[in-house]
Structure 1
Protein backbone atom coordinates (compact mmCIF):
# COMPACT_ATOMS: atom_id res chain seq x y z
CA UNK A 1 0.00 0.00 0.00
CA UNK A 2 1.32 3.43 -0.91
CA UNK A 3 0.81 6.37 1.39
CA UNK A 4 1.58 9.94 0.39
CA UNK A 5 2.78 11.99 3.35
CA UNK A 6 3.68 15.70 3.49
CA UNK A 7 7.30 14.74 4.22
CA UNK A 8 7.75 12.81 0.96
CA UNK A 9 10.17 14.06 -1.61
CA UNK A 10 8.67 14.11 -5.10
CA UNK A 11 10.74 14.56 -8.25
CA UNK A 12 9.04 15.36 -11.54
CA UNK A 13 11.06 14.39 -14.61
CA UNK A 14 10.64 17.43 -16.87
CA UNK A 15 11.43 15.66 -20.15
CA UNK A 16 8.93 13.06 -21.41
CA UNK A 17 10.00 9.41 -21.36
CA UNK A 18 9.29 6.36 -23.49
CA UNK A 19 6.41 4.60 -21.74
CA UNK A 20 7.58 1.23 -22.97
CA UNK A 21 10.08 1.52 -20.11
CA UNK A 22 9.28 -0.55 -17.06
CA UNK A 23 10.76 -0.43 -13.59
CA UNK A 24 14.34 -1.09 -14.71
CA UNK A 25 14.20 1.47 -17.52
CA UNK A 26 12.74 4.19 -15.29
CA UNK A 27 15.25 3.40 -12.52
CA UNK A 28 18.02 3.84 -15.11
CA UNK A 29 16.54 7.24 -16.09
CA UNK A 30 16.53 8.21 -12.39
CA UNK A 31 20.24 7.40 -12.09
CA UNK A 32 21.52 8.68 -15.43
CA UNK A 33 19.26 11.61 -16.33
CA UNK A 34 17.88 12.85 -13.01
CA UNK A 35 21.10 12.10 -11.07
CA UNK A 36 19.05 10.53 -8.25
CA UNK A 37 19.10 7.19 -6.45
CA UNK A 38 15.96 5.18 -7.32
CA UNK A 39 16.37 3.26 -4.01
CA UNK A 40 16.17 6.47 -1.92
CA UNK A 41 12.40 6.41 -1.32
CA UNK A 42 11.84 9.47 -3.50
CA UNK A 43 8.63 9.36 -5.54
CA UNK A 44 9.49 9.89 -9.22
CA UNK A 45 6.83 11.15 -11.67
CA UNK A 46 7.18 10.72 -15.44
CA UNK A 47 4.96 11.67 -18.39
CA UNK A 48 4.68 10.29 -21.89
CA UNK A 49 5.44 12.31 -25.02
CA UNK A 50 1.79 13.06 -25.83
CA UNK A 51 1.02 14.17 -22.28
CA UNK A 52 -1.86 11.71 -21.93
CA UNK A 53 -0.41 9.58 -19.13
CA UNK A 54 1.76 9.63 -16.01
CA UNK A 55 3.92 6.96 -14.37
CA UNK A 56 5.05 6.99 -10.75
CA UNK A 57 8.05 4.98 -9.53
CA UNK A 58 8.89 4.55 -5.85
CA UNK A 59 10.96 2.12 -3.79
CA UNK A 60 9.40 1.16 -0.42
CA UNK A 61 12.33 -0.69 1.14
CA UNK A 62 11.30 -4.13 -0.15
CA UNK A 63 10.68 -3.49 -3.81
CA UNK A 64 9.57 -1.03 -6.46
CA UNK A 65 6.05 0.21 -7.08
CA UNK A 66 5.16 1.32 -10.60
CA UNK A 67 1.83 3.10 -11.00
CA UNK A 68 0.33 4.52 -14.18
CA UNK A 69 -2.55 6.87 -14.87
CA UNK A 70 -3.90 7.41 -18.37
CA UNK A 71 -6.30 10.34 -18.68
CA UNK A 72 -9.71 9.44 -20.12
CA UNK A 73 -10.07 12.76 -21.91
CA UNK A 74 -7.45 15.09 -23.27
CA UNK A 75 -3.93 15.79 -22.14
CA UNK A 76 -2.18 17.19 -19.12
CA UNK A 77 -3.17 20.81 -18.51
CA UNK A 78 0.16 21.62 -16.86
CA UNK A 79 3.75 20.44 -16.98
CA UNK A 80 6.82 22.43 -15.91
CA UNK A 81 8.74 24.24 -18.62
CA UNK A 82 12.00 24.22 -16.67
CA UNK A 83 15.36 23.91 -18.34
CA UNK A 84 16.38 21.64 -15.46
CA UNK A 85 15.90 17.88 -15.73
CA UNK A 86 13.90 17.64 -12.51
CA UNK A 87 11.25 19.72 -10.73
CA UNK A 88 10.35 19.26 -7.05
CA UNK A 89 6.69 18.96 -6.02
CA UNK A 90 4.81 18.79 -2.73
CA UNK A 91 2.24 16.08 -2.07
CA UNK A 92 -0.59 18.64 -2.32
CA UNK A 93 0.59 19.73 -5.76
CA UNK A 94 0.97 16.11 -6.88
CA UNK A 95 -2.68 15.49 -5.97
CA UNK A 96 -3.71 18.46 -8.10
CA UNK A 97 -1.57 17.23 -11.00
CA UNK A 98 -3.09 13.73 -10.76
CA UNK A 99 -6.54 15.32 -11.14
CA UNK A 100 -5.22 17.11 -14.26
CA UNK A 101 -5.12 20.50 -12.59
CA UNK A 102 -2.49 23.23 -12.61
CA UNK A 103 -0.53 23.12 -9.33
CA UNK A 104 1.01 26.55 -9.96
CA UNK A 105 -2.36 28.33 -10.18
CA UNK A 106 -3.64 27.03 -6.82
CA UNK A 107 -2.79 28.66 -3.52
CA UNK A 108 -2.13 25.94 -0.95
CA UNK A 109 -1.70 26.84 2.72
CA UNK A 110 1.47 25.76 4.48
CA UNK A 111 1.45 22.27 6.02
CA UNK A 112 2.36 23.64 9.45
CA UNK A 113 1.25 26.78 11.26
CA UNK A 114 2.37 27.81 14.71
CA UNK A 115 -0.30 28.44 17.29
CA UNK A 116 -0.02 31.92 18.82
Structure 2
Protein backbone atom coordinates (compact mmCIF):
# COMPACT_ATOMS: atom_id res chain seq x y z
CA UNK A 1 0.00 0.00 0.00
CA UNK A 2 1.19 3.53 -0.75
CA UNK A 3 0.99 5.48 2.47
CA UNK A 4 2.78 8.13 4.43
CA UNK A 5 1.82 8.70 8.04
CA UNK A 6 2.80 10.50 11.20
CA UNK A 7 4.57 7.39 12.46
CA UNK A 8 7.39 7.76 9.90
CA UNK A 9 10.63 9.70 10.17
CA UNK A 10 11.04 12.47 7.52
CA UNK A 11 14.46 13.78 6.47
CA UNK A 12 14.70 16.85 4.19
CA UNK A 13 17.93 16.86 2.16
CA UNK A 14 18.89 20.54 1.98
CA UNK A 15 21.13 21.04 -1.07
CA UNK A 16 19.27 21.41 -4.36
CA UNK A 17 18.89 17.99 -5.97
CA UNK A 18 19.11 17.05 -9.64
CA UNK A 19 15.62 15.73 -10.36
CA UNK A 20 16.96 13.43 -13.09
CA UNK A 21 18.07 11.16 -10.26
CA UNK A 22 15.86 8.19 -9.61
CA UNK A 23 15.98 5.37 -7.08
CA UNK A 24 19.69 4.55 -7.30
CA UNK A 25 20.90 8.14 -7.56
CA UNK A 26 18.82 9.26 -4.58
CA UNK A 27 19.95 6.22 -2.57
CA UNK A 28 23.52 7.27 -3.38
CA UNK A 29 22.86 10.72 -1.90
CA UNK A 30 21.39 9.20 1.25
CA UNK A 31 24.37 6.86 1.68
CA UNK A 32 27.18 9.13 0.52
CA UNK A 33 26.11 12.60 1.63
CA UNK A 34 24.04 11.84 4.73
CA UNK A 35 25.68 8.64 5.91
CA UNK A 36 22.25 7.07 6.47
CA UNK A 37 20.87 3.81 5.16
CA UNK A 38 18.02 4.33 2.69
CA UNK A 39 16.59 1.04 4.02
CA UNK A 40 16.03 2.42 7.53
CA UNK A 41 12.34 3.18 6.92
CA UNK A 42 12.76 6.97 6.86
CA UNK A 43 11.25 9.06 4.10
CA UNK A 44 13.93 11.15 2.39
CA UNK A 45 12.74 14.41 0.81
CA UNK A 46 14.62 16.01 -2.09
CA UNK A 47 13.85 19.41 -3.62
CA UNK A 48 15.48 20.85 -6.74
CA UNK A 49 17.39 24.13 -6.81
CA UNK A 50 14.48 26.00 -8.43
CA UNK A 51 12.24 24.63 -5.63
CA UNK A 52 9.41 23.66 -7.98
CA UNK A 53 9.91 19.88 -7.84
CA UNK A 54 10.02 17.47 -4.92
CA UNK A 55 10.75 13.74 -4.66
CA UNK A 56 10.18 11.54 -1.63
CA UNK A 57 12.09 8.26 -1.38
CA UNK A 58 10.73 5.63 0.98
CA UNK A 59 11.66 2.00 1.58
CA UNK A 60 8.66 -0.24 2.14
CA UNK A 61 8.76 -3.99 2.49
CA UNK A 62 10.10 -5.37 -0.76
CA UNK A 63 11.22 -2.19 -2.47
CA UNK A 64 11.43 1.55 -2.81
CA UNK A 65 8.52 3.91 -3.44
CA UNK A 66 9.22 7.24 -5.13
CA UNK A 67 6.72 10.10 -4.85
CA UNK A 68 7.21 13.03 -7.25
CA UNK A 69 5.44 16.39 -7.44
CA UNK A 70 6.05 19.21 -9.91
CA UNK A 71 4.49 22.62 -9.37
CA UNK A 72 3.08 24.38 -12.41
CA UNK A 73 3.44 27.72 -10.64
CA UNK A 74 5.13 28.91 -7.46
CA UNK A 75 7.77 27.26 -5.33
CA UNK A 76 8.11 25.11 -2.24
CA UNK A 77 9.07 27.21 0.77
CA UNK A 78 11.83 25.65 2.82
CA UNK A 79 12.09 26.19 6.57
CA UNK A 80 14.94 28.34 7.84
CA UNK A 81 18.04 26.25 8.46
CA UNK A 82 21.75 26.40 9.12
CA UNK A 83 23.60 25.90 5.81
CA UNK A 84 26.20 23.67 7.50
CA UNK A 85 23.69 20.88 8.18
CA UNK A 86 22.87 18.58 5.30
CA UNK A 87 19.48 17.37 6.47
CA UNK A 88 16.52 18.62 8.49
CA UNK A 89 14.19 16.43 10.50
CA UNK A 90 10.55 17.16 9.67
CA UNK A 91 7.40 15.75 11.15
CA UNK A 92 4.40 14.65 9.10
CA UNK A 93 2.54 17.93 9.64
CA UNK A 94 5.50 19.95 8.38
CA UNK A 95 5.80 17.68 5.32
CA UNK A 96 2.14 18.15 4.43
CA UNK A 97 2.41 21.91 4.85
CA UNK A 98 5.57 22.03 2.72
CA UNK A 99 3.88 20.03 -0.07
CA UNK A 100 0.69 22.13 0.17
CA UNK A 101 2.58 25.45 0.06
CA UNK A 102 2.06 26.61 3.62
CA UNK A 103 5.00 28.52 5.11
CA UNK A 104 6.33 26.52 8.06
CA UNK A 105 8.70 29.16 9.41
CA UNK A 106 6.45 31.12 11.79
CA UNK A 107 4.07 28.44 12.94
CA UNK A 108 3.64 28.03 16.68
CA UNK A 109 2.72 24.54 17.82
CA UNK A 110 0.12 24.25 20.55
CA UNK A 111 0.60 21.73 23.29
CA UNK A 112 -1.02 18.36 22.55
CA UNK A 113 -1.39 15.20 24.53
CA UNK A 114 1.17 12.52 23.70
CA UNK A 115 0.89 9.05 25.13
CA UNK A 116 3.99 8.11 27.10
CA UNK A 117 5.58 4.91 25.91
Shift of 1:35: 1.1
Structure 1 portions without partners, runs of 5+: none
Q: What TM-score, normalized by structure 2, do the two folds share?
A: 0.87
Between 1:64-73 and 1:3-12, the stretch displaced more is 3-12
Aligned residues: 114
Alpha-carbon contact 2:79-2:105 (below 8 Å) kept: no
Q: Give the root-mean-square deviation of aligned CA atoms.
A: 1.7
> With structure 1 as the length reference, what TM-score do the two structures score?
0.88
> 1:51-90 alignment to 2 at 5 Å?
51-82=51-82, 83-90=84-91
**Once the 2 structures are TM-superposed, how far is the Cα of residue 50 of structure 1 from its aligned partner?**
0.8
Residue deviations 1:25-76 (CA, integer Å, cap 9, x gap): 0001000001110011100000011111100000002100011111121212
Tell me which residue corresponds to 1:103. Answer: 104
User: Are residues 1:94 and 2:95 paired?
Assistant: yes
Distance 1:59 1:113, change over 3 A: closer
Deviation at 1:77, TM superposition (A): 2.5
**Which structure 1 residue ranges, 4+ long, deviate > 4 Å from structure 2?**
none
In structure 2, relative to structure 1, the CA distance for the partners of 1:76 and 1:35 (3 Å cut) is same
CA distance in structure 1 between the aligned counterparts of 2:30 and 2:96, rounded to whole angstroms: 22
Gaps of 5+ in 2: none
* TM-aligned CA distance change 1:32 to 1:104, over 3 Å: same
